[in-house]
Structure 1
């Protein structure tokens, strides 16, 4: 079914949610990918130490982001890319937490978006032994991508949301959330208030 949204994925330098070191964005219109964006990010001090564990996972080092843009500088481009979209992420609480904590670290306003977790949607759509992104993406017909590359992960996440919408015969993410009984989340104070007013506090993650 023709759904519109922006899928997003972050990699972080360490265990801090404010240590975003890369971001991948995939814009979906009418159920098709129409735009992609990827860039390295320089984490804000004091969240800028790169842990050996995280580097082993995603391969990004402090040297690689030394001259990179920051989330604060990228935010206008993010707003232009995502527009007023619903955001989709796999294990969305992590990625939305990165947006919130990194924005707070830079003392800038948190972007306003409703969001949906493709991990939770996958649990209500497929019967799998594992619902990690590679397994869920394979169930959606999206294979052979580089897991922990933020752009590839965002595209895999987008494929899950598009495939799930088709399977559940819905044409927007609000309907997908209702059909799968997955509670949508809200990012930003205004969006939190609006969702609470429309659905009550139990509608929010």
Structure 2
């Protein structure tokens, strides 16, 4: 039986997981799942969640596709990451730390995505359950293995970012001696999901340049309108 470890100084942590097109620095975010543990005034825990899917503007590597199961035809109809940076920042604003399994990858790839859109990633401290597992000599130290030692497992064969974030939360809380139930989130839908038309026999060329330019135009217009209204121009 695992002993509890010294609790991190996180009272309102965000547990997150990223699915991506691969494992290289040039790869992009495909989906993001986040759970935030909010402590209510009476001490009771409350969970806030968000699940997002993105068009990474490139196809996933074979191994990554096998893991997350989100094919290129599906993803090319989803929003770009830049369309939801503000939502991600708002979700992280109330947090005092980030916890994930393999933080170097998850946070690293998120930071690169933020940099691509010229936005600073929130400067939150992080803790990695993969590092914690290795320090305890657990082999294998994968999220699946750590969860299964606690009697937990994924509901399907493919990874869901939000479900993996929930498993990470359950592992971290258990190891820190905190008896906080974590919601089951296998079937939670992406909040920004866009309908996908029937797949044609031959996929058309991607319109990456146009799609990115259109989003930049929309964001700029939105910002200009906000300033216009804020200044009370009539």
Q: TM-score, normalised by structure 1?
A: 0.70
Residue in structure 2 matched with residue 39 of structure 1 by the alignment: 52
User: How many angstroms apart in 2 are the aligned matches of 1:67 and 1:26?
Assistant: 25
User: Could you say if the C-alpha distance between residues 165 and 21 of structure 1 is closer, same or farther in structure 2, counting changes exceeding 3 Å?
Assistant: same
- Name which one, 1 or 2, has greater alpha-carbon Rg: 2
More helix by share: 1
Matches within 5 A, 1:33-182: 34-44=47-57, 48-85=58-95, 86-124=97-135, 128-146=138-156, 148-166=159-177
1:141 CA displacement: 4.3
User: How many angstroms apart in 2 are the aligned matches of 1:114 and 1:96?
Assistant: 11
1:111 CA displacement: 2.5
Q: TM-score, normalised by structure 2?
A: 0.62
Matches within 5 A, 1:21-36: 21-30=30-39, 32=45, 34-36=47-49
Equivalent pairs, count: 164
1:84 CA displacement: 4.2
Unaligned runs of 5+ in 1: 170-205
1:20 to 20, 29, 52: 29
- Determine if contact 1:3/1:162 at 8 Å carries over to the other structure: no
User: How many angstroms apart in 2 are the aligned matches of 1:152 and 1:12?
Assistant: 15
- Determine if contact 1:84/1:113 at 8 Å carries over to the other structure: no
Unaligned runs of 5+ in 2: 1-6, 180-234
Residue in structure 1 matched with residue 17 of structure 2 by the alignment: 9
User: Could you say if the C-alpha distance between residues 158 and 98 of structure 1 is closer, same or farther in structure 2, counting changes exceeding 3 Å?
Assistant: same
